Structure 1
Amino acid sequence: MGVMVFVFFAFSLFAFDHGVSGKSIARVEDFELEQQLKQLNKPFVKSIQRKDGRIYDCVLINKQPAFDHPKLKYHVLQMRPTSFPQGLKLHDESSTLTSTYLEELEDGGCPIETVPIKRILKEDLIRTKSLSGIHPLTQDRGGSHYANTTNRIPFGDGYYGAQAIIGIYNPSVSYGQASEVMISISNGPPLNNIDVGWTVNPILYGDYRTRLFTRWTGSHNTGCYNTNCPGFVQTNNKIPLDNHLWPISTYGGDQHGLAFSIFQNNETNDWWLNIGGSTLGYWPASLFDSLSTNATSIVWGGATHSPVAAIYKAQMGSGRFPDEGYGKACFFSHIQLVNEKTSNVFTEPSFVTTSADKPLCYNVNGNAKIGDGTGYSFFFGGPGGICGY
């Protein structure tokens, strides 16, 4: 399992076995946390504090944490993709949906040639020490459940990107739980994946808001969320990866959606992230083994995480089952694939399969009519609760 760079237990276990006092262990752990903070938080030219208290440091773009990754030691910074897939559909032309927007940082964002990196605090390290880069759709994890649609390709072919407009909601979760909605691309073995979407995750973010999230797993099971470890190269100087999303959809009321796309640059093989028409940055191809060439599986859907012993599971999507339909259930619409490095196509029902591992709590239905009807769409989600075993 991929582990964040700031998770260290070895010394603590050694000290316990050798009779070191609890107070000494605490001092060692505190020292380790301080060292990790020094490594993760880079010198900055400006800092921006948001209304929610989160602090973003404007770090020189070529000095950001991404370049601490050993595979990026000689990486040449890319400021923008050299190609962009033709035909991406970033909005619903029927105006059925109102776009959720990406709120830019206050004070005009970071200066040119710098990028916003969330300042990591000691409580962040303590709170997130158990999180990894592995998503629940790629391995059997106790307490994780899903409802999704999957595109898998014939042997010998590949995908070079994926896009969809995703409904934005704020499902109810308890502390220790998480609910997320994502596009996930993967290849393997060895398993490599990139996930992009939105989540409500109080352990990761320290609040219950709906926020952007990214997650990746590369070579040797390295990887993490957002910029919590070296890897993702931020190029946008105004929009951070953990941005709060607003407005959100309401049950029986206005429906809000946001376009997420991830695509491979046709010259460098780097994977670029574009949200709502804004390019945020990329994962260099050198981070990956199997995913450095293309993706062989693409998943669109939702997932929840709860402690294994938890009786009640978190809500997924809008917290409603998909059969309630538009205006009540969460959705994916305008699903597209990049089947060549320069062109997008809409996926079709015959190309996909649907799956839900706990249908008493979550489900998915396919080929729904949403908005202008262009492309494949579906509803998914559920109330959680007691799922049965």
Structure 2
Amino acid sequence: MAAARACLVALVVALTFLFMEGRPTAARKMSAGNLVQRRLEVRSLLRRLNKPPVASIQSPDGDIIDCVHISEQPAFDHPLLKNHTIQMCPSYNPKGMQHHSNITPHLITQTWHQNGKCPEHTIPIRRTKEEHVLRASSVRRFGTKMPRSIPLVNPINDTNTPNILRGHQYAAASARYDKCYGSKGTFNMWKPAIARANDFSLTQLWITAGSYNGNNLNTIEVGWQVYPNLYGDTNTRLFIYWTRDAYQTTGCYNLLCSGFIQTSNQITIGGSISPTSTYGGTQYDIDILVWKDRAGGNWWLQVGGYNVGYWPSYIFSDLAHSASTIMWGGEIFSPDVGQTSTHMGSGHFPNEGFGKASHIKNIQVVNSSNCLNPPSYVGLITEQNNCYNVQSGNYGDWGTYIYYGGPGNNPNCP
């Protein structure tokens, strides 16, 4: 028996070293014992994340989508949700959700839909694989953001290291309120080029309360991203994120920790979205709405007209009551920020306009009467506008909108 265990350990070490080939030198210097311990931690995490499926669907993009019974999803591992009763639909939708446009919308689908659908009373979850976790800097950090991963909105009342020093750049708009209860926008879909595997590029809305002071920043974040190190490819994917303590110990991407409760069997959070827009060609948009249900207090998510699920109010502190800042726009991360050629949005600057620059239109905010209204004022956030930039406007069917993005490194950047 001892000999068998020794052989198993040797095999695990050999496979781990094979996987580590080509990774940074510091990673390869881990001791054999640490490598074995990490592999055991990975397998323990996979057992927690990958719930037993009712059915599984092999997606053409390589994902495996597990159809998990709605009552067995990872959310209910959260200690505050052990006896939670699922709210299957919101009590009230925000008023003023309809808008009319003379631009014909194009249907966005997820790649896995080509090969099947999940049965009723199940939710689709992208299966987490061992190689996904092993790309993270540590098992504990898998699926999480680094602390202080949000643009500085109020430099007078909030202290922060400049974003560029942490590898992030933003091109976004923001609006501040005493109290607000959600936001809606129509997001232009692109597939930005990524310079290296641990870079990412995303477009999202942020709903926040609290601040970095005291580590009580609460956020709800939704959008699309390209992030090879997290997903293992360069597909454009729907994502969500949340935290209640400024990214210190709570929250995660998608369903990689407990918290968000999914109710829809149509949408895979973390799943690939197709098709995406082409420069000078067909444009694809998707509507995203997040709002606080005034009856139950939960923060609901709607994507492309589907009610996807909700964040229970009591997993938050400040957001349990209301939000104070809403932001919309793009973000890139790269260790080579200032020199990276990772694209934001379409990879083109805002002044190129429709069909060439990426946009977010029909930007609205949910007020205390549960009505959607355009923001009265938006401020613009950018660090190096010769690398990535943002412009805002208000016009006709588009309402309040922004164009944003850029190519990163170019003769004028940095």
2:235 is aligned with 1:212: no
Contact 1:318 1:330 in 2 (8 A): yes
TM-score, reference length from structure 2:
0.82
TM-score, reference length from structure 1:
0.87
Q: Choose the corresponding residue for 2:144, options 132, 135, 142.
A: 132
Q: Choose the corresponding residue for 1:181, options 203, 210, 214.
A: 203
Q: Distance in 1 between matches of 2:42 and 2:242?
A: 23
Q: Distance in 2 between matches of 1:75 and 1:332?
A: 35
Structure with more of its chain in helix, by fraction: 2
What amino acid sits opposite 1:110 in the alignment? C
How far apart are 1:122 and its partner, in Å?
0.8
How far apart are 1:62 and its partner, in Å?
1.2
Contact 1:101 1:258 in 2 (8 A): no
Q: Distance in 1 between matches of 2:369 and 2:297?
A: 9
Contact 1:364 1:379 in 2 (8 A): yes
Contact 1:321 1:382 in 2 (8 A): yes
Q: Choose the corresponding residue for 2:351, options 320, 323, 331.
A: 323
What amino acid sits opposite 2:182 in the alignment? G
- Aligned position for 1:289: 317
How far apart are 1:126 and its partner, in Å?
1.1
How far apart are 1:347 and its partner, in Å?
2.3
How far apart are 1:173 and its partner, in Å?
0.6
How far apart are 1:101 and its partner, in Å?
3.7
Deviations 1:94-128 (A, max 9, x none): 12553434556355422221111221111111123
Gapped runs of 5+ residues in structure 1?
1-20
Identity of paired residues, percent? 37
What amino acid sits opposite 1:71 in the alignment? L
Contact 2:199 2:227 in 1 (8 A): yes
Moved more, 172-181 or 295-304: 172-181
What amino acid sits opposite 2:38 in the alignment? E
Q: Distance in 2 between matches of 1:307 and 1:223?
A: 23
Q: Choose the corresponding residue for 2:192, options 171, 175, 191.
A: 171
The 1:314/1:92 distance shift into structure 2, 3 A limit, reads farther
Give the match's secondary structure for 2:351. helix
Q: Choose the corresponding residue for 1:274, options 297, 302, 305.
A: 302
Contact 1:127 1:204 in 2 (8 A): yes
Moved more, 336-345 or 265-274: 336-345
- Aligned position for 1:18: none
How far apart are 1:340 and its partner, in Å?
2.2
- Aligned position for 2:183: 162
Give the match's secondary structure for 2:180. coil
Q: Distance in 1 between matches of 2:63 and 2:389?
A: 35
Give the match's secondary structure for 1:248. coil
2:385 is aligned with 1:359: yes
Contact 2:201 2:333 in 1 (8 A): yes
- Aligned position for 1:95: 103
- Aligned position for 1:346: 374
Give the match's secondary structure for 1:66. helix
Deviations 1:32-91 (A, max 9, x none): 1111111111122211111112112221211111110112123221111111111114x6
Give the match's secondary structure for 1:296. strand
* Over 4 Å off, 4+ runs: 138-141, 386-389
What amino acid sits opposite 1:143 in the alignment? G
How far apart are 1:176 and its partner, in Å?
1.4
Q: Distance in 1 between matches of 2:121 and 2:202?
A: 32
Contact 2:289 2:301 in 1 (8 A): yes
2:119 is aligned with 1:111: yes
Give the match's secondary structure for 2:335. coil
Q: Distance in 1 between matches of 2:39 and 2:249?
A: 27
Contact 1:104 1:238 in 2 (8 A): no
Q: Distance in 2 between matches of 1:27 and 1:354?
A: 48
Contact 2:202 2:226 in 1 (8 A): yes
Q: Distance in 2 between matches of 1:114 and 1:333?
A: 33
Q: Distance in 2 between matches of 1:309 and 1:50?
A: 34
What amino acid sits opposite 1:27 in the alignment? V
What amino acid sits opposite 1:158 in the alignment? K
How far apart are 1:93 and its partner, in Å?
2.1
Contact 1:213 1:225 in 2 (8 A): yes
Matched length: 362
Give the match's secondary structure for 1:367. strand
